[in-house]
Amino acid sequence: MSSNEVIARVLLIRHGQSLWNIEERWQGRADIELSELGIQQARAAADKLGSFDIIASSHLQRALHTATIISEIHGVGPVEVDERLQETHVGPWEGLTRQQIEQQWPGYIDTRRKPEGFEPDESIVDRLTNAIRDFGKRCAGGSALIVSHSGVIRTLRHEMGASNPRLPNLGGSWFNVLGNDRVTPGDIVTLLDETSFTEAL
């Protein structure tokens, strides 16, 4: 096997709509549950997914509930919980709306500036890359599904030099695990028809 050969593919997707998504609040590590629509989204997305050797999730309820629904429909499990997959710690922005953030920290969001207490990008890349690599090695020759959060998925793609468009609920990205332990970005995935579901932040 060559060092740059793909040994496994890992799909990271965002959870279904949460109660704070409805209110357009930055969640960070606040443990917010899925809305009723979020539960429906998870079921609809499960119907569009292929088979996976492993299903894993962040420990936060909105991700774990999404993963559990998918796991039960596909008969793959139990869901493996890994705290490395949790959302970015957003410090003082947790629980605030975009409008509130822009009032208190003008220009920060548009220029990617972070307030004190916000998790550094390097920390996100390190923990998420290691988790993807670990799950990929365990399902060599196959694929793993990880239910995580848009903030960390987008940050990882950005730091890898890939496009990082806004991800709707149940949107995500493939990542490739190579024989030399590198992790590289793959295609963006959208599982739901946004005309059928109300998009949430």
Catalytic residue positions? 15, 87
Q: Give the β-pairing of 143-148 and 6-14.
A: parallel
Angle (CA) 154 23 16, round 5° = 50
Whole-number Cα distances in Å, 185 to 11, 31, 123, 160, 173: 10, 28, 18, 7, 7
